[in-house]
Amino acid sequence: MARTQAQLEKEDKERDLAFKQALHGKTGAEKQGFMAMMGKDHAAQKLAVDSYFKHWDNKASAEETEETRKARRDEYATLTRHYYNLATDLYEYGWAQSFHFCRFSKGEAFRQALARHEHYLALKMNLQEGMKVLDVGCGVGGPAREIAKFSGVNITGLNNNDYQIERATAYAQKEGLSHQLNYVKGDFMQMSFPDNSFDAVYAIEATVHAPSLEGIYSEIFRVLKPGGVFGVYEWLMTDKYNNDDPHHREIRLGIEQGDGISNMEKIDVALKAMKAAGFELELNEDLADRPDELPWYWPLSGELKYMQSIWDFPTLARMTHIGRGIAHRFVGALELIGIAPKGTQKTADSLAVAADCLVAGGREKLFTPMYLMVGRKPAK
């Protein structure tokens, strides 16, 4: 079916900052994970919940229409911003400060594996000390801090969510990395940076939030200096994904709704988008296809037999069905008595659906969160 191009949403940075202040108050720099979740403004949280879930409630994959999907793409920026308004604390509580998946090696601790995935991208992009680098969709800055330490580069983190920027800024300060890192609020489809600004740009599991891959890759191409390099871990449906198969569609929609994604594409679309944007593709590989003994999705599958370090138990236990069940019911009870804001359990349950669909997508090889592409902007 022919697709109408998504409109870009009009930015309003003052409105977004005021909303961040209203919803998150002082939780941004002062509270962590679970405690931060309890400190939200209830009315503002309701607005974020309604604004996010209006795109998903009563819209099952079997009845999904192109109009429904277009409405999500048209509101990609608001949809993603509110998703992270709702999900950031849960991510930090139940995962880490690096919001991405990774490959796992035997004997390797969870955080070490996350960091290795970040180092691997820096290596493949050949990042060198002193380079001016852009991190597109930087989350709370876990990867930027690691890559800044690993490669000695200076990184600008771009993010459309003020709450994440506040947290990323506080973490950078705490780790004494403020001289190498700075954060900018903005929509990655319409960046405020001039043409030819950066030596390198990377995006770790972030550009999937764009309404169009060609749109985001073209914008990245624009801000890269000639000869500059772009490296990305992309979330994509594989060639095995069949859009006419109801089971496949259910998995894709489950991932999209629980992960704030307006439109997830297949591998061939991403490859064409890189070319159309003007990149010379130097590397493309689905890292999920490597014959690893420990699959990338295992922490979400709750298979603790794969755990490599006993010190990981407190984090990994939270991701199991039991761990999730206890935490989600607990926040549900707090919601009932008015301590947690309304919608906390709904958000957590939606993440749990996403987790199951991510695992199913991984097991059935329908989905990858680590399609690696490295492209270069021609020097002339």
Contact footprint for ligand LGRKZMXR (CB under 6 A)? 90-91, 93-95, 99-101, 205, 208, 235, 259-260, 300, 318-319, 324, 327, 348, 351-352, 354-355
- Please, what is the angle between helix 321-336 and helix 76-94, to 10°? 110
Complex with ligand LGRKZMXR: residue 200 or 357, whichever CB lies closer: 357
Residue in the block written with tokens 């690691």: 146
Complex with ligand LGRKZMXR: residue 91 or 279, whichever CB lies closer: 91
Give me the least distance between CB of 290 and ligand LGRKZMXR, in Å please.
Answer: 19
Give me the least distance between CB of 204 and ligand LGRKZMXR, in Å please.
Answer: 9
Complex with ligand LGRKZMXR: residue 101 or 183, whichever CB lies closer: 101
Complex with ligand LGRKZMXR: residue 131 or 270, whichever CB lies closer: 270
Give me the least distance between CB of 132 and ligand LGRKZMXR, in Å please.
Answer: 25
Complex with ligand LGRKZMXR: residue 172 or 355, whichever CB lies closer: 355
Give me the least distance between CB of 303 and ligand LGRKZMXR, in Å please.
Answer: 14
DSSP state of 192: -
Helices (H) and strands (E) in the chain, counts: 16, 7
Give me the least distance between CB of 215 and ligand LGRKZMXR, in Å please.
Answer: 17
Report the run of H or E that residue 374 belongs to, with start and end: strand 367-376
Complex with ligand LGRKZMXR: residue 94 or 211, whichever CB lies closer: 94
List the 198-204 sheet strands across, edge first.
181-185, 154-159, 132-136, 198-204, 224-237, 367-376, 280-286
Give the residues across from 203 on adjacent strands: 232
Complex with ligand LGRKZMXR: residue 90 or 224, whichever CB lies closer: 90
One-letter identity of residue 119: H
Give me the least distance between CB of 207 and ligand LGRKZMXR, in Å please.
Answer: 9
* Distance, CA of 172 to CA of 166 (rounded, Å): 10
Residue in the block written with tokens 């990774």: 102
Give me the least distance between CB of 255 and ligand LGRKZMXR, in Å please.
Answer: 9
Give me the least distance between CB of 195 and ligand LGRKZMXR, in Å please.
Answer: 27
Give the residues across from 224 on adjacent strands: 198
DSSP state of 272: H
- Please, what is the angle between helix 13-24 and helix 76-94, to 10°? 30
Complex with ligand LGRKZMXR: residue 122 or 358, whichever CB lies closer: 358
Local structure of 52: helix, strand or coil:
helix
Cβ-based neighbours of 26, under 8 Å, separated by 6 or more? 39
One-letter identity of residue 245: D
* Distance, CA of 358 to CA of 343 (rounded, Å): 22
Give the residues across from 231 on adjacent strands: 202, 374
Task: Please identify the residue of the shown chain whose CB is closest to the bound ligand LGRKZMXR.
Answer: 94
Local structure of 244: helix, strand or coil:
coil
Give me the least distance between CB of 301 and ligand LGRKZMXR, in Å please.
Answer: 11
Complex with ligand LGRKZMXR: residue 228 or 254, whichever CB lies closer: 254
